[in-house]
Amino acid sequence: MPRRLLMATALALLAGCLPPAARSAEAPHKAVFILLDGIPADVIEQVPTPAMDAIAASGGYARAHVGGELGGPTETPTISAPGYMSLLTSTWADKHHVRGNSNQSPNYTYWNLFRIVETIDSSRVTALFSTWLDNRTVLIGVGRPGAGDFRLDHAADGFELDTVAFPHDRASRYIKAIDERVTSEAASYIAERGPDLTWVYLQHTDDMGHAHGDSAPFHEAVREADARVGRIWAAVQRRQALGEDWMVVVTTDHGRDARTGMGHGGSSPRERTTWIVTNRAELTPRFTSGQATIVDIAPSILHHLRIAAPPAVAREMEGVSFLRGP
């Protein structure tokens, strides 16, 4: 047995021997959230997803919502980038100002999760693995004036600009290939480095939804996305065996229209109804009763990481943690 493996085994055994109290007091708290694009709740409940079932087995699965208050000032289009920005900042579009996927002018007044973590404790390791470059350069706003002077420790993205390695095709096979690449990068990095905060964004499901609507090809894409989640979950489990305390969140940014499943962006129940899977067991009734929203995810992750946002930032957050306890 190679020495490194022996060391890992010894650490795993040690972690297993510690009493629970000692473990929770000393275990580093880490979080990864995975966003699978455009999967309605009824679809995730219908298609076999063994990897997400395994994550939920120790925690929970529940329906959730996007889109803000229907008919109210916070109502937010059920479109991808507005959804990501709501997740990242725990605010709706009336504050973050992202209402579409292009020509965004984000309002960086409302700090995103990465800015909060890097500002409060720059020693924490942050990482992004994304099939869409704008998540880093526009929404998170790394390096942008007014978006905060912070950096991510690691990013793997921008593959869609590499048309040699990933030649674009109408069937969106290149996006599937990029999702695979992004997943491989994320799984390796998590297994080797155990970053403190990680976002994995995978796009292919939404492309198949737009192209085929509610159909076998769309459901197949959901099964493939679940398998990618399984690879990241396996990496997290390797870190947990070393004594780290992980929170995993898997979610989506919007549902799809009820008629064909090809579109989204409106305010129908199926477009506004989403879902959240987590490995955490200490869930509030708000989560288990299906009342959680996408803006609750950032406060929950900060809760798990034991990081308090600056009061002026926390005050503007629209969500609350769905975790119980300290």
Distance from C-alpha of 232 to C-alpha of 269, rounded to nearest angstrom? 30
Bridge partners for 36 per DSSP: 202
253 scored as a contact of Zn ion (CB under 5 A): yes
> Token pair for residue 63?
């329906």
Sign of CA dihedral 234, 152, 306, 290: negative
User: Which CB, 66 or 283, lies closer to Zn ion?
Assistant: 66
**Residue 299 to residue 308: CA distance in whole angstroms:** 9
How many residues touch Zn ion under the rule CB under 5 A: the total is: 5
Pick between residue 49 and residue 131 the one whose CB is nearest to Zn ion.
131
209 binds Zn ion (CB under 5 A): no
The yes or no reply on residue 206 touching Zn ion (CB under 5 A) is yes
Segment near Zn ion (CB under 5 A); pick from 39-47, 160-168, 230-238, 250-258: 250-258
Q: Is 86 in the site for Zn ion (CB under 5 A)?
A: no
**Among candidate residues 86, 75, 70, the one with its CA nearest the CA of residue 318:** 86
The side-by-side arrangement of strands in the sheet containing 154-156 is: 60-65, 273-278, 245-251, 29-36, 197-202, 126-130, 154-156
Q: Which residue type, as a one-letter code, is found at position 34? A: I
Q: Distance (Å, rounded) from C-alpha 168 to C-alpha 84?
A: 24
Of 33-41, 68-76, 237-245, 281-289: span binding Zn ion (CB under 5 A):
33-41
Beta-bridged to residue 245, according to DSSP, are: 29
Shortest separation between residue 11's beta carbon and Zn ion, angstroms: 39
Among the residue ranges 1-9, 36-44, 90-98, 286-294, the one whose residues contact Zn ion (CB under 5 A): 36-44
Site string for Zn ion, 93-132 (x = CB under 5 A): ----------------------------------------
Q: How far is the CB of 87 from Zn ion (least distance, A)?
A: 11
- Residue 226 near Zn ion by CB under 5 A: no
Nearer to Zn ion (CB atom), residue 82 or residue 148: 82
What minimum distance in Å lies between the beta carbon of 254 and Zn ion? 5
Distance between CA atoms of 218 and 47, rounded to whole angstroms?
A: 10
Structure tokens at 115: 């800015």
Shortest CB 206 distance to Zn ion, Å: 5
- Binding interface with Zn ion (CB under 5 A): 37-38, 80, 206, 253
